[in-house]
Amino acid sequence: MRRIFGFLIGLLIGALVGATIALLLAPESGEQLRAEIRQRGASFVAEVRQAAEARRAELQKRLEELRASRG
């Protein structure tokens, strides 16, 4: 479980650093850049949710298997 949280924290920090660098080096106008960042942020959140749901389903399946083997 710690590995997952460590990974997610690292992913979040990496995204923040990347966004900051993108803002500093962006050749686009501010409005275009903000729209792109919003879109990428929404995509990132969707990917994290999808990964979390997949992991939850995997853990639930393992739990059910363990319960079935005990009973």
Q: Could you tell me the CA-to-CA distances from 70 to 32, 56, 62, 63, 65 in Å, in that order?
A: 57, 21, 12, 11, 9
Name the residue with higher pLDDT: 27 or 17. 17
Confidence of residue 4 (pLDDT cuts 50, 70, 90): confident
pTM: 0.53
Domain ranges of the chain: 2-70
Q: What is the pLDDT of residues 21-66, one digit of tens each?
A: 877 777 767 788 788 888 998 998 999 999 999 999 999 999 999 9
What long-range pairs does 44-53 form, CB within 8 A, spacing at least 24? 44/15, 48/8, 48/11
Confidence of residue 7 (pLDDT cuts 50, 70, 90): confident
